């Protein structure tokens, strides 16, 4: 059950957007497709939606091959980055759209729309037009519209990409709660690793049309399959062949065995955490992540000489 993508390839005018991609998404899960722009994550979502036809390969929804089924018959709900709100319709008519197309009785539509508007916290705004809503409200309306037809799959294409940082954080938490309530199999496309880790139970990391790794947020962070995943899911220092996370860089005031001398270039206060940019005596640049307390104890300031050592490093076989 759930969604299966089997060896899907897609090319656009000589550009390979997807290259033999296979992915299984369990029913009821919330999966993130994570990758930089041009990695093929949106194309993969659109292939699953039926808005894009793969050159080769298959898409199965709940064990049924839907590769040749038009989008309108796939029973999906989709949310777009720029809301795709029907501008000439009220919020009510937007949410009711899928039900109106299906010619459901008016009383049923009314009940369902109000139920959904309550779910997305837009009860009082049914008669507004999309242009009278904020970005966050518009995107919640788009979610209600997608959920109205009781889709078996919910597809979100960078749903929070056009919103400002604070609203984005709110909606992420809200989406997580919504998924716990509604349990519909959901795929969210994002280029923001923090968003993917916060929202999704499973993450597929894409790069240049291929899937690099699939796993839980923890697995990806602790056991990245390769350099790309390691550097995409969090900040990383590259020291020769080794990769070190900034929080695994120890900063000492006295030399201690294997430590190397380094000079503090910059101390950046980010609230609870403090980022220290350093340059080692061999010329390598790296940054260390300390707590505010650790930074204060060491009284770090620009130009100071310290001694660094990685407490944990990762080397990938080539």
Partner 1 sequence: MSRYVLRFGVLGYLAFVLLVPVGFVFYRAFDNGFAHAWHAVTTPEALHALWLTLLIAAIAVPVNTIVGVILALALVRGRFPGRGLLNAVVDLPLAISPVIVGLGLVLLYGRGGWLGGLADDGLKILFALPGMVLATMFVSMPFVVREVVPVLREIGVEQEQAAETLGAAPFQVFRRVTFPAIRGAVAYGVVLTTARAIGEFGAVSAVSGNVEGKTQTLPLYVKAQFDNFDTSGAYAASVVLAVIAIAVVVSLRILQPKVH
Footprint on this chain of partner 1 (rule: CB under 8 A): 49-51, 70-74, 76-78, 80, 82, 84-89, 97-98, 101-102, 129, 131-132, 142, 145-146, 148-149, 155
Closest by Cα among 253, 243, 229, 226 to 284: 243
What is the nearest approach in angstroms of partner 1 to the Cβ of residue 90? 9
First to last CA, the chain: 36
CB of 74 to partner 1, least distance (A): 8
Rounded to a whole number of angstroms, the minimum distance from the CB of residue 76 to partner 1 is: 6
Residue placing its CB nearer to partner 1 in the complex, 102 or 266:
102
**Please, are residues 43 and 10 in contact by the beta-carbon 8 Å criterion?**
yes
How far apart are the C-alpha atoms of 77 and 261, rounded to whole Å?
A: 56
Residue 189 vs 288, nearer CB to partner 1: 189
Q: In angstroms, what is the minimal distance from the CB of 85 to partner 1?
A: 7
HSE of 316, CA atoms in CB hemisphere, 13 A: 13
- State which residue, 6 or 84, has the beta carbon closest to partner 1: 84
When the beta carbons of 151 and 310 are compared against partner 1, the nearer one is: 151
Query: At its nearest, how many Å lie between partner 1 and the CB of residue 152?
Result: 12
Q: Cβ closer to partner 1: 132 or 311? A: 132
């Amino acid at each position: 059950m759930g969604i299966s993508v089997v060896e899907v390839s897609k090319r656009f005018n000589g550009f390979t957007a997807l290259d033999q991609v296979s992915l299984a998404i369990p029913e009821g899960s919330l999966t993130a497709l994570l990758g930089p722009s041009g990695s093929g994550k949106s194309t993969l979502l659109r292939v699953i939606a039926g808005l894009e036809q793969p050159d080769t390969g298959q898409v199965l929804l709940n064990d049924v091959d839907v590769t040749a089924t038009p989008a309108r018959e796939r029973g999906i709900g989709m949310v777009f980055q720029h809301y795709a709100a029907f501008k000439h319709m009220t919020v009510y008519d937007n949410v009711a759209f899928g039900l109106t197309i299906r010619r459901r009785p008016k009383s049923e539509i009314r009940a369902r729309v109000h139920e959904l508007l309550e779910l997305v916290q837009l009860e009082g705004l049914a008669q507004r037009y999309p242009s009278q809503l904020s970005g966050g409200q518009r995107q919640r309306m788009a979610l209600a519209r997608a959920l109205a037809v009781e889709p078996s799959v919910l597809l979100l294409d960078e749903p929070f990409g056009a919103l400002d940082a604070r609203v984005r954080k709110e909606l992420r938490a809200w989406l997580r709660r919504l998924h716990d309530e509604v349990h519909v199999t959901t795929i969210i496309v994002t280029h923001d690793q923090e968003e993917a880790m916060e929202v999704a139970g499973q993450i597929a990391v894409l790069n240049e049309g291929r899937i690099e790794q699939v796993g839980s947020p923890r697995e990806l962070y602790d056991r990245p399959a390769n350099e790309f995943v390691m550097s995409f899911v969090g900040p990383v220092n590259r020291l020769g062949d080794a990769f070190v996370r900034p929080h695994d860089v120890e900063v000492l005031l006295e030399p201690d065995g294997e430590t190397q001398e380094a000079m503090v270039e910059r101390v950046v206060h980010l609230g609870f955490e403090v980022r220290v940019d350093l340059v080692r005596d061999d010329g390598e640049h790296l940054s260390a992540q300390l707590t505010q307390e650790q930074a204060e104890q060491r009284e770090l300031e620009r130009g100071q000489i310290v001694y660094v050592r990685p407490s944990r490093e990762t080397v990938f076989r080539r």
